[in-house]
Amino acid sequence: MQLEFGLFLSSFILHQEPRLLLSIGLPVSMTFSSPVIIVTGASRGIGLAVVGALLKSYKARVVTLSRTRTPELSALVSEHGDNLAPLEGDVTKEQSAIAAVDLAKSKFGRLDGLILNAGTLDPLGRIDSPESSVESWKSMFDVNLFSLVHLIKAGLPLLRESHGRVIFVSSGAANGGIAAWGPYSASKAAMNSLARTLANEEKDIVSVAVRPGVVDTEMQSIIRAKGTASMKPEEHDKFITLHAQSQLVKPEDTGHVIAGLSVGAKPELSGAFVDWQSDEVKEFRRKE
């Protein structure tokens, strides 16, 4: 009888979501197979915060893909050892995406989720400005959209096996039209469309786009420093005011929600564009 109960308990634990295990006081390590997540743009800002949350709160194993390894990312590697595998590479190159998926499979044996966070806003410029050349639009789409396609295509076979999740770090700009943000806004709108299409095509994979809020990152520094020349004054002033009044979102707060979605997003969210503060994702908020 005791043996039968033990087998039942082991089977039950094996199939639980990490967030559920944590909520009832059980370590995720009891699943015998902690989730394996690839995070792009992980060396700073939101991406770095996501990696920290995955390792500390969700007991995940993580592969990172970023152009450089910052001291902050190196510190996480030192702290978490074999649970974090950093990979340096250009996200716009197909071979980098393939290498990241291969690393997840060879080191951890599986892949449960992608967090597509790498992105750029620079250069700012109105459509008719020299800074807003067609080539600059193409370069931004290479990072903000086409790099996602590379990684999704590389990861799909393993994600189908695990019934995994793909989390797209989008922006409120996807629904807006801020002056001088043309390529950024367009690329984020395209990202959301890609998330919806993936959700429709791959019913066993949960695909969610997330609006992370106005986050205190290097991107906001660029807006404040360079936006004066090309943005509308009233639009630029909003970002200046948010910073001056300390109202920018902490990367750790939005990062915790994004990390949680990668291990616990429910199927009914697939194809949705959700705000990080919405009730739909409140279970993943960071506890103070």
Residues annotated as catalytic (active site), given as ranges: 170, 184, 188
Q: In angstroms, how far apart are the furthest CA atoms of the chain?
A: 76
Phi/psi zone of residue 272: left (φ > 0), alpha (ψ -120 to 50 degrees), beta? beta
266 in Cβ contact with 2 (< 8 Å): no
Q: Nearest Cα to 95, choosing from 21, 153, 138, 44?
A: 153
> 93 vs 6, 90, 145, 192, 222, CA distance in Å?
47, 6, 12, 21, 25
Burial 153-190 (b: 16+ CB within 10 A, else e): ebbbebbeebebbbbbbbbebbeeebbbbbbbbbbbbb
In angstroms, the CA 29 to CA 23 distance is 14
